[in-house]
């Protein structure tokens, strides 16, 4: 009987490419503003050292840049990146432009809020670490989905341009429907190569008479994934969530680990970054 129900309820979804993009594009609120900051007060910025004593005009600038990013100004963002820009996930300036356009077409109501965690001089440039929160309000473009995400990243700025960017941690949640399930995710942020780890996505509220469908997905983070949706099958879940044990790859890198859970008239998808490091 269980096999019959599973066959009837199995559904295939495609992870929208824009979800993968969020992991990279959240940081734009900060990074697109550094050229103007350096041009105005380069010595102040180099001497800032930490977020506590960063100049007030830098913090004001971040507020202004967050507002510009929330307007979806692609050209306004790209002018602040080096032609030789590199990213830890394999993106360059050309793929950045395509990614921005795709994301902001799908989510035209994104709101950015960035805070500076630290900054320090390094060689002829500056290393800045930031935390950005982003919210995407429902609209016809995104099938009335709501997006919430938090990301920490590190940027290198030299010659008034962004030349390098790396994501330190990220978590993205997308919900849709009238009553999306509330999910508690348990996943380590970092594991060593070959290590076994657990990934749990636990539904917080009682199921009642609802069926619960879901799946877990692990993917290496690669540049070509940012613009290509991934097909997944949702299976009937016999417990109140997903409970998986996996093994980290044998080589260092970054993985996207995702959970998709559907119940009644609501769906929740959560994606987190898992860092795989050497022993």
Q: What is the pLDDT of residues 94-106, one digit of tens each?
A: 887 787 777 778 7
What's the domain count of the chain? 2
> Domain boundary at 152, 170, 188, which?
170
What is the CATH classification number for the domain harbouring 94?
Answer: 3.10.450.50
Residues 75 and 126 in one domain: yes
Read off the pLDDT band of 139 (50, 70, 90).
confident
pLDDT value for 233: 79
Residues 121 and 200 in one domain: no
248: domain range? 2-16+173-277
First to last CA, the chain: 46
More confident residue, 256 or 52: 256
Residues 142 and 201 in one domain: no
Residues 12 and 76 in one domain: no
Percent residues over pLDDT 70 in the chain: 71
What is the CATH classification number for the domain harbouring 196?
Answer: 2.60.40.730
Residue 9 belongs to what H/E stretch? helix 2-9
Residues 193 and 162 in one domain: no
Residues 179 and 160 in one domain: no
Residue 164 belongs to what H/E stretch? strand 161-177
Residue 51 has pLDDT above 70, yes or no: no
pTM: 0.78
> Domain boundary at 146, 170, 194, which?
170
**Spatial CA neighbour of 255 closest among 225, 212, 233, 228:** 225
Distance CA 230, CA 120 (A): 39
More confident residue, 30 or 153: 153
- The structure tokens 């099958």 sit at 233
Residues 136 and 189 in one domain: no
Residues 42 and 166 in one domain: yes
pLDDT value for 223: 62
Residues 163 and 257 in one domain: no
pLDDT tens digit string along 215-237?
998 888 766 655 555 667 788 88
Distance CA 111, CA 69 (A): 8
Residues 54 and 140 in one domain: yes
Residue 175 has pLDDT above 60, yes or no: yes
Residues 80 and 118 in one domain: yes
pLDDT value for 173: 92
pLDDT tens digit string along 8-42?
344 445 444 444 444 444 444 333 333 333 333 43
Residues 161 and 254 in one domain: no
Distance CA 42, CA 125 (A): 10
Contact assessment for residue 116 and residue 128, using Cβ atoms and an 8 Å cutoff: yes
Mean pLDDT across 186-198: 95
């Amino acid at each position: 009987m269980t096999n019959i129900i599973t066959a009837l309820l199995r559904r295939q979804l495609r992870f929208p490419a824009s979800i993968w993009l969020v992991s990279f594009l959240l940081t734009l609120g900060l990074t697109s503003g550094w050229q103007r900051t350096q041009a105005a007060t380069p010595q102040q910025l180099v001497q800032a050292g930490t977020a506590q004593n960063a100049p007030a005009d830098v913090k004001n600038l971040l507020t202004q840049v967050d507002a510009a990013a929330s307007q979806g100004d692609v050209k306004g963002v790209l002018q602040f990146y080096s032609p030789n820009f590199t990213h830890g996930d394999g993106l360059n300036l050309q793929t950045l432009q395509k990614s921005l356009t795709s994301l902001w077409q799908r989510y035209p109501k994104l709101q950015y809020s960035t805070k500076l965690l630290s900054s320090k001089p390094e060689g002829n440039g500056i290393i800045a670490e930031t935390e950005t929160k982003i919210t995407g309000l429902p609209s016809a473009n995104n099938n009335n989905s709501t997006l919430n995400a938090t990301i920490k990243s590190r940027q290198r700025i030299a010659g008034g341009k962004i030349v390098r960017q790396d994501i330190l941690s990220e978590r993205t949640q997308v919900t849709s429907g009238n009553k999306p399930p509330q999910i508690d995710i348990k996943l380590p942020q970092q594991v060593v190569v070959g290590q076994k780890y657990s990934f749990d996505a636990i539904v917080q509220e009682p199921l009642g008479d609802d069926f619960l469908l879901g799946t877990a997905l692990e993917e290496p983070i690669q540049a070509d994934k940012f613009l290509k949706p991934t097909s997944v099958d949702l299976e009937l879940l016999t417990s109140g969530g997903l409970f998986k044990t996996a093994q980290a790859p044998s080589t260092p890198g970054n993985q996207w680990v995702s959970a998709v859970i559907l119940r009644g008239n609501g769906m929740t998808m959560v994606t987190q970054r898992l860092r795989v490091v050497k022993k």
